[in-house]
Structure 1
């Protein structure tokens, strides 16, 4: 990129998977004419309160430079969409994290959906959407809604007012009750889904202490995840078995079929848990919005979508520049890493009216919380279904939601969500 570089060596890791130690990182000097925003997007302080950095990035210009990691950053809506749309230039196959897979070995075989480019990605996505599509969601909708209704009713079996952890008792409990059954996973070991997902999303950032701990916790879950993805393991008739059948019909071998299912086990729970948890917090903090939802529970889907826009459970993703290009007049050389701030784009005042206001009547379609373009999240239709079913069940049963203690954030290099959310619910 430039002749002048600063070499930083990341700390050695003690992960259990035998990955190679982190190589020295050649951090280029700031490119001429590009605004420098000298904040660490992966620090505890920024992950706890990312909004000042988001504003600084948006105000710095269409493209900024983050010197600590030697990466370009886009935080305005138009530029983020541009990068996501032009997948042939801003590629995913070289890794959607800080590491460039042309230079560093991936920590595990790359995802055929998230970390692949056409034609490999096209073939894998076609298989996935042949099974995971709106028709499938319509078929399971009643079952998912009934499960949500039963879960909410059970909270009030003995009293009209309950104090709960909104994460453990609702945001995590509900997806962990419906998603594994949908996939056809074994009954034992389902608790491994969350630490494995937490590990995968931490791995998109730097190999910091957060990454190292996630590798230890997630490493314990890895054998179970791998076993569940093997062809022949998911229960017949479930999504996993059907996906394997469609993969074989499309000419994918058994390893590819297993990796395709692994993509859903990696990203199918944590993101939904964080989305539902964020929705509970937002609705509790905005009683007028909760009243609007109670008045019309059919707004549950738009309430969930507005939550994803306003809070963005998936905060960032990387792309790699595969050929010299420009973004809004700024030159980006081949091999550059571009960090997309999805959460910042979702609050860009150049695109959104009153972007910092949480409003469930807003038409939030077009947000980039689930990505955009050919790599938009395949599982977003299930996340929306789960969010809609649980929020709808709550709106019909609960008169008030209150935060009764200090919520605890779960810090992750990529995700934003609550570890603990103390709530008081009162039945209608």
Structure 2
């Protein structure tokens, strides 16, 4: 893999360290600064290119032949499952075609009633208290609804929080955040490895159906296991962050909660929330062949980070980009990717969010902040670790 020793000719440069503590505390500020330098910026600290603007990232994501999907431009030892997410055709096509029938809107609609039951039980608890942490509610819901769908055991699901945190941190460099999260996640990785096995998952559930692909499709036993863990990675942390982001937006703009009387606005609020706070701050691409892009002359093997947080607030694409506004048509955001590598779990995330918010809106006339929100500090995950909310019931 080639790595230029200095800034390539004609490409603007920056000394910003994407993973410095002050940057992780305020990523929109620093990623926004990079976006305004140019569509392609050379990051001296990391020795990689950053593509910063909505139009440029969308174009790059659509061109998988020249820009291969890549686990992490910062850490070759990332722990994301090595199928679909970082595969390219024809391997990607074969595996995605096999799994998509199980995560399509029609397939997931069968689980909506189960999701609604889970949501109602959780909401009844917070209605009595009148105050709750949106992050806790989102995590409790997803920890119940999604592993139930997969067919994972109840005992030990709390491990998934550390599992997801560690995987996302490894998409960044091997810094203190990564090392400490890996230490915490040791038991979590062991639990996932054990409980996601063919022998442990419940029959008739989604994970068992994925394992059954070894009998009906060109899928090996190893690939089936990786696909199960890929589904887990794709439908867990980002969903929690996405739901929490929408809640945070409402606490800062409580009058917009009333707009949810129109069911179309329920989904619109989710799209605006993850435009505003993309669950993944950046993505990665590897240059497959020498090519020119946005004035930069890339060489085969060059590494690229795509700054999704910067793109989500690109003023060239969005009017009043720093404003949370659920009336905005935000569906064209890049927070779930674009092109053939668009997020495998996006339908699930939208479904879970829709169920939870719809159930809450039936009982709640207004939500407002009950205290200061706290960021979730992670190398890659972008969002909130705590969002205290106070309810006014109908």
TM-score by length of 1: 0.88
Contact 1:399 1:426 in 2 (8 A): yes
CA contact (8 A) 2:75 2:174 kept: no
Q: Partner residue of 2:150? A: 183
SS at match of 1:424: strand
Offset of 1:273 from its aligned partner? Answer: 0.8
- In structure 2, the partner of 1:310 is 276
SS across alignment from 1:257:
helix
Question: 1:422, 1:131 → 2: CA distance?
Answer: 35
Q: Residue 132 of structure 2 corresponds to which residue in structure 1?
A: 164
SS at match of 1:320: strand
**Structure 2 SS opposite 1:400:** strand
The change in CA–CA distance for 1:332 and 1:408 in structure 2 (over 3 A counts) is: same
CA contact (8 A) 1:128 1:243 kept: yes
Match of 2:346 among 371, 377, 380: 380
Mapped to 2, the partners of 1:45 and 1:171 lie a distance apart of 27
Q: What is residue 17 of structure 1 aligned with on the other side?
A: none
Q: Is the 8 A contact 2:79 2:170 kept in 1?
A: no
In 2, Cα distance between the equivalents of 1:326 and 1:219?
43
Deviation at 1:49, TM superposition (A): 1.0
The whole-number CA distance in structure 1 between the counterparts of 2:111 and 2:26 is 37
2:113 corresponds to 1:142: yes
Could you tell me whether the CA contact under 8 Å between 1:398 and 1:425 is conserved in 2? yes
Out of 85, 88, 99, the position equivalent to 2:65 is 88
Alpha carbons of structure 1 residues 109 and 59: separation in structure 2 relative to 1, 3 Å: closer
Q: Which residue of 2 aligns with 1:236?
A: 203
Confirm or deny: 8 A CA contact 1:95 1:320 kept in the other structure.
no
Query: Per-residue deviation at 1:79?
Result: 0.9
Unaligned runs of 5+ in 1: 3-25, 101-105
State the 1:153 CA deviation.
2.3
Match of 1:284 in 2: 251
Quick check: 387-396 or 106-115, which moved more? Answer: 106-115
Instruction: Identify the residue that residue 123 of structure 1 maps to in structure 2.
Output: 94
Judging changes above 3 Å, is the alpha-carbon distance between structure 1 residues 247 and 129 closer, same or farther for their aligned structure 2 residues?
Answer: farther
> In structure 2, what is the equivalent of residue 11 of structure 1?
none
Q: What is the aligned partner in structure 2 of residue 351 from structure 1?
A: 317
- Distance (Å, rounded) in 2 between the aligned partners of 1:343 and 1:248: 41
Match of 1:61? 38
CA distance in 1, matches of 2:117, 2:265: 18
1:292 shift after superposition: 1.5
> Match of 2:361?
395
Equivalent residues in 2 for 1:206-355 (5 A)?
206-293=173-260, 295-355=261-321
The TM-score normalised by the length of structure 2 is 0.95
Contact 2:79/2:167, CA 8 A, preserved across alignment: no
Deviations 1:77-102 (A, max 9, x none): 1111122111122112x5334235xx
- Aligned residue pair count: 394
Give the SS at the match of 1:416.
Answer: coil
Segments of 4+ moved more than 6 angstroms: none
Separation (CA, whole Å) in 1 of partners of 2:186 and 2:73 = 19
Residues 35-94 of structure 1: CA distance to partner in whole angstroms, max 9, x if unpaired? 1122111122112211222222222112111100011001111111122111122112x5
Q: Is the 8 A contact 2:48 2:73 kept in 1?
A: no
Gaps of 5+ in 2: none
Residue 9 of structure 1 corresponds to none
3-state DSSP class of the match of 1:280? Answer: helix
Question: Given the superposition, is the C-alpha separation of residues 276 and 109 from structure 1 closer, same or farther in structure 2, using an over 3 Å criterion?
Answer: closer
The answer (yes or no) to whether the contact 2:75–2:170 under 8 Å persists in 1 is no
Q: Which residue of 1 aligns with 2:163?
A: 196
1:109 and 1:393 map into 2 onto residues whose CA distance is: 33
- Is 1:152 the equivalent of 2:128? no
Q: Kindly report the root-mean-square deviation, in angstroms, between the aligned alpha carbons of the 2 structures.
A: 1.8
DSSP-derived class of the 1:156 partner: helix
Give the match for residue 387 of structure 2: 421
Aligned counterparts of 2:82 and 2:392: Cα–Cα separation in 1: 43
The secondary structure found in structure 2 opposite 1:190 is coil
Q: For 2:193 and 2:47, locate their aligned partners in 1 and report how far apart those are by CA, in whole Å.
A: 34
Q: 1:81 to 1:249 in 2, by over 3 A?
A: same
